[in-house]
């Protein structure tokens, strides 16, 4: 990347805990940040910072879909990195007990709308280098995520969508990161759900006694993906906690470049 180039970073749901921390990280490096929020209270409490533009985007409101792309168009802005950090685990509970409309709305806001926003922003990508797109994955990739069907299915959708985008779009590097347990307010949804959360309630309560994944590791893993090639990173699902991306040797990169199936959604023993 050109060291003189000042990056523009778009963060979907900058009002999330991960989004807020990433905003501060990218501002500290001198980047411009454009972020979206849903909660008007967040905007009212936000302390204005230089090089930040906030846009109100409610992912459950289709009329908000083009607010971000309109801003890029009207201001002739090009982005270098998209970070799609939105997410809700609700509704929580056995599928047969859930309200159908809430279940469907969750999948739309977790999976469909971020992809549509990415598509609307694609024309405004930077041409200085291949821009990067970062999604986040959650529970259910290696087993069931009982009582969290809408959230689990949304993340599986995004994992496969990353691979499809990598294959179809030559000038985007799209990847998805699994942060593991991170101390964010999304876990309040599990606590509030109580017994509807099943076994995950106890796991979540026990988690708060642990350190969890650091925001530094989330930022560093994104930057590791950004700096490496599309061939080694594109279309893959990395675990921030379990994959050896911190290794300073090139062994992992070499393995990735020589195995197109590594860290992708596959049927075991295919």
pLDDT at 142 over 60: yes
133 pLDDT exceeds 90? yes
Cβ-based neighbours of 12, under 8 Å, separated by 6 or more = 19, 35, 36, 57, 68, 82, 83, 84, 85, 86, 114, 117
**195 φ/ψ angles, rounded to the nearest 5 degrees:** -65, -20
Q: What pTM does this model have?
A: 0.95
Please report, rounded to a whole number, the percentage of residues in the chain having pLDDT higher than 70.
98
pLDDT of residue 41: 86
Convert the pLDDT of each residue in 66-107 to its tens digit: 999 999 999 999 999 999 999 999 999 999 999 999 999 999
Beta-carbon contacts of 184 under 8 Å, excluding residues fewer than 6 positions away, are: 16, 17, 18
pLDDT of res. 270: 60
Residue of higher predicted confidence among 208 and 3: 208
Domains observed in the chain: 8-181+214-258 (3.40.50.720)
pLDDT at 2: 58
Q: Which residues fall within 8 angstroms of residue 58, CB to CB, at 6 or more apart?
A: 38, 64
Per-residue model confidence as pLDDT tens digits over 160-194: 999 999 999 999 999 999 999 999 999 999 999 99
């Amino acid at each position: 990347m050109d060291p003189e180039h000042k990056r523009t970073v778009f963060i979907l749901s900058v009002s999330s805990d991960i989004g807020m921390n990433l905003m501060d990280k990218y501002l500290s490096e001198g980047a411009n940040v454009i972020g979206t929020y849903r909660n008007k209270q967040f905007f009212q409490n936000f302390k204005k910072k230089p090089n930040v533009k906030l846009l109100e985007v409610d992912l459950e409101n289709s009329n908000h879909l083009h607010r971000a792309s309109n801003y890029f168009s009207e201001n002739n802005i090009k982005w270098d990195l998209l970070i799609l950090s939105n997410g809700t685990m609700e509704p929580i509970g056995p599928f047969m007990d859930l309200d159908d409309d809430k279940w469907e709305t969750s999948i739309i806001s977790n999976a469909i709308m971020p992809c549509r926003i990415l598509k609307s922003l694609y024309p405004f990508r930077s041409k200085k280098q291949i821009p990067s797109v970062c999604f986040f994955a959650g529970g259910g990739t290696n087993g069931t995520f009982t009582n969290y069907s809408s959230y689990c299915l949304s993340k599986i959708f995004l994992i496969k969508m990353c691979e499809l985008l990598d294959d179809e779009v030559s000038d985007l590097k799209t990847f998805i990161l699994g942060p593991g347990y991170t101390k964010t307010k999304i876990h309040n949804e599990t606590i509030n759900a109580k017994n509807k959360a099943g076994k995950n309630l106890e796991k979540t309560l026990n988690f708060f006694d642990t350190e969890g994944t650091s925001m530094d590791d989330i930022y560093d893993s994104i930057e590791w993906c950004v700096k490496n090639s599309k061939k080694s990173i594109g279309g893959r699902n990395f675990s921030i906690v379990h994959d050896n991306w911190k290794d300073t040797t090139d062994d992992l990169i070499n393995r990735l470049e020589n195995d197109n199936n590594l860290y992708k959604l596959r049927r075991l023993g295919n």
